[in-house]
Amino acid sequence: MPRFAANLTMMFTEWPFLDRFAVAADAGFAAVEFLFPYDHPREAIAERLNRHGLTLALFNLPPGDWAAGERGIAALPGREDELRAGVETALRYAQSTGVSRLHLMAGLADATDPVARQTYRDNVAWTAARLADANLDLLLEPINTRGMPGYFLGDFDEAAALIAGLALPNLKLQFDVYHCQIIHGDVTTRLRAMLPLIGHVQIASVPSRHEPGSEELNAGYLFAELDRLGYTGFIGCEYHPRAGTLEGLAWFEPYRASQRDLDRD
């Protein structure tokens, strides 16, 4: 049975961020994720998690200047000191919140530039080693360049090759079904082939990034396939509700009752 984590950056946006934890728990979720925690005190986030019995599945390392359009800095030469300072900030939030995996965004850079490629590889290796000291996993996520033009890491096979090549035990693939379908298609075959590298899965409909199963992909089939493959991690619900978060949770109802029991396993 799949374990779902509500993405509080995209879901429950009808409420202020710190109020979303309670609403997600009331809706039946036992876990949450979000893009960034840094606008809020880590103690406040930890208190919401504890109060509502929620597990924090994932958040992103600092991405540079998000408001100015940056989408990570790991592939940007000359930003190494900033990246390392951001890792230390994220580690403080991880310690407070109990999260066990963090995602490193690559940034907007030419994927064919050898300097950017070496910079990214070096930063991934350094960050994975630093997170290993704290018993945390580092995740890499390919993102489709239709939605994020110019993003450096836009290919699942390249991400898998980098992870396999570095062979670091805490370096994992963040497999977003939405991005995979747009970039490559053939989602199930890639799930099967890449399962040993996968540390986190995310889901949304394609092409509009709404509730799972509402458009061209059979989400129920994919959830069952993940069970058949033996995947026991979280499935992050990283989607934009079509017409209100609570109104769009019919897809979640068959799984709702099991979530608290699964999270205790």
Q: What structural domains does the chain harbor?
A: 3-264 (3.20.20.150)
Residues 13 and 16: their CA atoms lie apart, in Å, by 7
**Given this model, what pLDDT does residue 261 score?**
79
* Active site annotation includes 70: no
CA–CA–CA angle 135, 136, 138 (5° rounding): 140
Placement of tokens 């992909």 in the chain: 217
Low pLDDT (below 50) residues in the chain: 265
For residue 170, CA distances in Å to 12, 89, 256 come to 31, 19, 30
Residues 55 and 236: their CA atoms lie apart, in Å, by 12
Residues 235 and 4: their CA atoms lie apart, in Å, by 5
The tokens describing 202, both together, are 């995310």
**Given this model, what pLDDT does residue 265 score?**
42
Of these residues, 82, 141, 211, 216, which one is catalytic? 141
**Given this model, what pLDDT does residue 151 score?**
98
Residues 13 and 19: their CA atoms lie apart, in Å, by 10
**Given this model, what pLDDT does residue 264 score?**
54
Of these residues, 47, 216, 238, 247, which one is catalytic? 238
* Active site annotation includes 33: no
**Given this model, what pLDDT does residue 263 score?**
63
One DSSP character per residue, the chain reads --EEEEETTTSSTTS-GGGHHHHHHHTT-SEEE-S--TTS-HHHHHHHHHHTT-EEEEEEPP-S-GGGT--B-TTSTT-HHHHHHHHHHHHHHHHHH---EEE--B-B--TT-HHHHHHHHHHHHHHHHHHHHTT-EEEE----TTTSTTBS---HHHHHHHHHHHT-TTEEEEEEHHHHHHHT--HHHHHHHHGGGEEEEEE--TTT--STTSSSS-HHHHHHHHHHHT--SEEEE----SS-TGGGGGGGHHHHTTHHHHHH-
**Given this model, what pLDDT does residue 197 score?**
98
207: preceding bond cis by omega (within 30 degrees)? yes
Give Rg (Cα) of the chain.
Answer: 17
Please give the mean pLDDT across all residues of the chain.
97
